[in-house]
Each structure stands twice: as structure tokens, then as C-alpha cells.
């Protein structure tokens, strides 16, 4: 069982950050969702690995320095070839040195490696952003889920509605907002039901009618979810 609370809220434009327990901003959506959403965690891990791989290439542009040294003793005993004063002597030796090597030109191998890794890092970051983003949707509702049903995972929220979208298993997706509402539908609600809504909310909703919504983007996400869950 889950519970809902009743109150009236009108909004021509509702910013919803996708990702579990996410806030309205993209930065917050990514940070809060990564802990529990596998797709986001995977995308972040891939992006992080790509960036570190690119940073590792810095070493190819640095000089190679080798410090070496040794010390030892040598005893000479060759009476047939050496005089008495030079024979049967123990001589000590030691040395210390530094060698440095710097590659001036390598046929653009290092530069091309940086470009290739940078492209992979950009792709990983774009996939991460694609997995977590902020969507703007029309909303006009009185009831709101305040207690999650068993097995539900929050995938979208904002400051007003913490449980804005839920996933249960692989084939149930619920959305509190109205991606099926276009500008005309929302404007009609404002005109015919504004008497039940505080004037400040009506004014805010009217102003937001000129802003674009992400209905089509969410429709694509819904279709992809159902197709994936049906497999």
C-alpha cells in the first residue's frame, strides 16, 4: 500500500530532474542518483575511467630521468705481471650518475593518442549526461504520492514533488506530471479551473506557457523503458 496527500497545485511547466532522489539541477540529479541507479553508476564509472586514461598520457610528454650509482672493492693479485708495490692491492671505487631522455618528435604518436582518448572521454561524459538530465513537463494535480509502494524506485523528483516518477520492476513506470498535456491543454485548465488555484500559481503557470517542454523526450524514454522491460 502507498499513501497520497491531497492539495491543489497548478503549473504550466514543471522541471523534473531524472535520476533517483534527484533535485532540479543537473548537478544535483547526477550526484544524488548515482548511488542507487545502476545505469548512471555505470555511465559515471566509464566517464571517470576515460578521463583518467587521458591524464595518464601526460607522462609521455615528460622527460625520463634515471639516477644510478654503485660502489665496490677490487683486489689485484698478479705477481707475474705486476711489481711488488703494485701487486696484491685492494682498490675501492664508486660512481654516481644521472641520465635524462626527452623525446622531441615521435611522428605525432603522443598527440594522436591524446586526441583519441579525449574523444572517448567526451563520449563517456555525453552518455553520462544522457543518463541523467532535467526535463520540463506540464503538471496540474491535486494528489501526490508521499509513501512509496513496495519495490518502487524514485527516478525523478523536484522540490515540490519528491516522488515525481517511479519504477517498479521492469515493466511499471509511473509519472506524476502530464507529458500528454500540450500548451493548449494546460492553458485551458488555467482558464477554466483557475478559481480553485491561488492567483500566484495561476500567474506563474501562465508565464511558463511560453517555455518549451520535453514531452517528446520523455515519450521516447517511456517507450525505451517498456521495450527493454518486455525483453
Residue 210 vs residue 28, higher pLDDT: 210
CA–CA dist 218, 231 (Å, integer): 20
The answer to whether residue 137 scores a pLDDT higher than 90 is no
Residue 189 vs residue 4, higher pLDDT: 189
For residue 18, give the 3-state DSSP assignment. Answer: strand
The answer to whether residue 34 scores a pLDDT higher than 50 is no
CA–CA dist 124, 51 (Å, integer): 9
Q: What is the mean pLDDT of residues 116-132?
A: 72
Residue 121 burial (CB count, 10 A): 20
Residue 106 vs residue 135, higher pLDDT: 106
Share of the chain above pLDDT 70, in %: 77
Which range has the worst mean pLDDT, 64-68, 133-137, 183-187?
Answer: 133-137
> Chain centroid to CA 11: how far?
29
- Per-residue model confidence (pLDDT) at position 88: 81
Beta carbons within 8 Å of 128's beta carbon, 6+ residues apart? 30, 40, 43, 44, 46, 47
- Per-residue model confidence (pLDDT) at position 20: 38
CA–CA dist 197, 110 (Å, integer): 63
Assign 100 a pLDDT band (cuts: 50, 70, 90): very high
For residue 113, give the 3-state DSSP assignment. Answer: helix
Q: What is the mean pLDDT of residues 116-136?
A: 72
What mean pLDDT is reported for the chain?
A: 76
Assign 8 a pLDDT band (cuts: 50, 70, 90): very low
- Per-residue model confidence (pLDDT) at position 216: 85
What pTM does this model have?
0.45
Q: Per-residue DSSP letters for 67-102?
A: EEEEEEEEEE--TTTS-TTTSSEEEEEEEEEEEEE-
- Per-residue model confidence (pLDDT) at position 230: 44
Is there a contact between 128 and 37 (Cβ–Cβ < 8 Å)?
Answer: no
Count CA within 13 A, CB hemisphere, residue 170.
5
The CATH classification number of 4-30+133-230 equals 3.40.50.880
- Per-residue model confidence (pLDDT) at position 67: 92
- Kindly report, residue by residue over 86-97, the tens digit of the pLDDT: 788 888 888 899
Amino acid at each position: 500500500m502507498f499513501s497520497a496527500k491531497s492539495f491543489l497545485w497548478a503549473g504550466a511547466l514543471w522541471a523534473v530532474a531524472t535520476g533517483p532522489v534527484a533535485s532540479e539541477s543537473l548537478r544535483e540529479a547526477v550526484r544524488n542518483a548515482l548511488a542507487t541507479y545502476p545505469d548512471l553508476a555505470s555511465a559515471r564509472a566509464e566517464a571517470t575511467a576515460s578521463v583518467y586514461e587521458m591524464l595518464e598520457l601526460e607522462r609521455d610528454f615528460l622527460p625520463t630521468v634515471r639516477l644510478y650509482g654503485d660502489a665496490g672493492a677490487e683486489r689485484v693479485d698478479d705477481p707475474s705481471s705486476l711489481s711488488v708495490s703494485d701487486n696484491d692491492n685492494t682498490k675501492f671505487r664508486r660512481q654516481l650518475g644521472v641520465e635524462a631522455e626527452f623525446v622531441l618528435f615521435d611522428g605525432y604518436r603522443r598527440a594522436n593518442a591524446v586526441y583519441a582518448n579525449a574523444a572517448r572521454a567526451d563520449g563517456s561524459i555525453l552518455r553520462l549526461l544522457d543518463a541523467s538530465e532535467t526535463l520540463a513537463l506540464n503538471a496540474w494535480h491535486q494528489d501526490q504520492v508521499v509513501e512509496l509502494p513496495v519495490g518502487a524506485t524514485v527516478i525523478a523528483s523536484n522540490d515540490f514533488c519528491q516522488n515525481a516518477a517511479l519504477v517498479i520492476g521492469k515493466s511499471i513506470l509511473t509519472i506524476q506530471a502530464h507529458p500528454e498535456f500540450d500548451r493548449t491543454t494546460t492553458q485551458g485548465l488555467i482558464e477554466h479551473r483557475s478559481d480553485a488555484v491561488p492567483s500566484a500559481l495561476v500567474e506563474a503557470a501562465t508565464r511558463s506557457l511560453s517555455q518549451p517542454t520535453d514531452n517528446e523526450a520523455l515519450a521516447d524514454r517511456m517507450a525505451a523503458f517498456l521495450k527493454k522491460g518486455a525483453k
